[in-house]
Amino acid sequence: MGGGGGEEQETTLEFTPTWVVAGVCTIIVGISLAVERLLHYTGKYLKKKDQKPLYEALQKVKEELMLLGFISLLLTVFQSGIVKMCVKESVTHHLLPCKHRPSESSGEGESSSNATETMSHYQRLLAEEFTGTGYCAAKNKVPLLSVEALHHLHIFIFVLAIVHVTFCVLTVVFGGAKIHQWKHWEDSIAKVNYDTQEVLKLKLTHVQQHDFIKSRFLGFGKNSGILSWLHSFFKQFYASVTKSDYVVLRLGFIMTHCRSNRKFNFHKYMIRALEDDFRTVVGISWYLWIFVIIFLLLNVNGWHTYFWISFFPFFLLLAVGTKLEHVIDQLAREVAEKHIAIEGELVVKPSDGHFWFHRPSIILFLIHFILFQNAFEIAFFFWIWVQYGFDSCIMGHIRFIVPRLVIGVFIQVLCSYSTLPLYAIVTQMGSSFKAAIFEEHVQKGLVGWAQKVKMKNQLKPATDGSSQGNPSSGSAMGIQLGIVAGKEPAPGKEIQPTTGSQELK
């Protein structure tokens, strides 16, 4: 600003000591390079350990950081143009996060003195951004968005993305630790000698004496639809998946999708499928950004939007957990109602009909949204606390703050230790299996096979319509499997099983 008036003169780089500029740049560049190297070596470690899904999830994180950097760059480049967008001061008095100060909303006769008082702050800020202070003040207007508000906005976006990625990683780490505890169940099953004579020896199993049926179908209220849903609701809080659940669901999956391989490692397949899904959960999709914009629009003083919206992921998470538990109950009910006794082992029949809209992938979408919204709530709280202080009017009363934090912690714990493990096993009870059922080396082999078949078909004469339009069944199967293994499957992408040809041997 101008030299008079006792206001502090802002110093440009022209008159800043070189050692200050060099020192600040050294620190910033050093931190940036350290983070970049950390991500680089983490990626190399994951590739060395053959953790391709987690490596691709790391690439997702890099993409999010690049997007945030680009958003920050756009805000910086265009901020001088944004702050030159001038509006009448009365326009800025509506839909405020905090109550408008009475001194700033006086009558029309005091508008000129109020403008002089409020413009002094904007003039100091705008002086840092472009030559000629008081651009909007000269028009007796105010900037549409101040430089300081822009700065706070892109800090919030950055904090939101970091908190979301961190929460997703913690959820998968803790949920994965819970799922890894099931490995001893898989190992105990693998010790059983599935020889031909043992398989052919059929045992008579009384359905109602089976542990799976007794815990999931029999008992007080289990035959009632309403009480069955209540049982599913409370079951997610304690022993959400028992050994009998795991054994029966595992056998149902194997008998449906890979009947010839009774020693199929179902636990390892679940882990690979969960790692594939993690790539989706860790990203911030476009529809989640729309949610952020809607929240920023509705965060109006007196509405307490930040408080009421915290209940949405809470109830949604409870609904998802209840539905997953109810799917297991439905599988038990189907067997119990159809059979009194069974020759051999108890086998359930996986089906998409047990899931909402016959699509198990919807569960992944809901978990993605729940984790993001919970991260949004926590990020918004800490951003307000650090940026404006605990006593800020945006923060709200203590009676609104404490429930928000309690709900956020509850969602994180329940999603990690109950909902995510439930999702990992129950979504395998659909009519399809996921591409993760193939080992990495098998997928690579199928890719090569499919490409060779495709090239052979392309080299055939164009006149041979039957060869091009109706290839052999083996070639068609090779192309189908090659597409599954060669391209990145969409989130929750599943493969429809066929009889015989797709059984894993």
pLDDT tens-digit readout, 454-488: 777 767 654 455 444 444 444 444 434 433 433 44
The pLDDT of 238-260, averaged and rounded, is 86
- State the chain's mean pLDDT as an integer: 74
Percent of the chain at pLDDT > 90 equals 6
- Residue 289: what pLDDT? 81
* β-bridge pairing 86-87 and 433-434: unpaired
The average pLDDT across 493-502 equals 45
Spell out the SS3 assignment of 11-33: CCHHHCCHHHHHHHHHHHHHHHH
Helix axes 183-190, 243-257, angle to 10 degrees: 60
Q: pLDDT band at residue 284, thresholds of 50, 70 and 90?
A: confident
Q: What share of the chain is helix, strand, coil (3-state, %, to 5)?
A: 70, 5, 30
**Which tops the pLDDT comparison, 490 or 270?**
270
User: In 3D, which of 320, 321, 348, 345 has the Cα closest to residue 334?
Assistant: 348
Q: Is the pLDDT of residue 119 over 60?
A: no
Q: For 27-36, 220-229, 363-372, 473-482, which range has the lowest pLDDT when averaged over its residues?
A: 473-482
Q: What is the pLDDT of residue 447?
A: 58
CA atoms within 13 A on the CB side of 341: 6
| Predicted local distance difference test score (pLDDT) of residue 446 | 55
Q: What pLDDT, on the 0 to 100 scale, is given for residue 321?
A: 93
- Mean pLDDT for 125-133 is 41
Name the most confidently modeled range: 92-96, 134-138, 275-279, 369-373: 369-373
pLDDT in tens, 410-428: 998 999 889 989 998 998 8
What CA–CA distance (Å, rounded) separates 266 from 179?
12
Residue 111 clears pLDDT 60, i.e. is over it: no
For residue 240, what are the contacts with CB-CB under 8 A and spacing of at least 6? 321, 325, 418, 421, 422
Q: What's the pLDDT score for residue 449?
A: 62
Least confident of 70-74, 475-479, 492-496: 475-479
Give the separation between CA 377 and CA 163, rounded to whole angstroms: 10
More confident residue, 53 or 325: 325
Average pLDDT over residues 147-164: 81
Distance CA(131)–CA(361), nearest Å, equals 55
Count of CA atoms in the C-beta half-sphere (13 A) of 147: 16
- Tell which residue, 283, 263, 102, has the closest CA to residue 193: 263
- Please provide the size of the chain in residues: 505
CA angle 161, 164, 168 (to 5 degrees): 140
Query: What mean pLDDT comes out for the span 242-263?
Result: 85
pLDDT of residue 213: 82
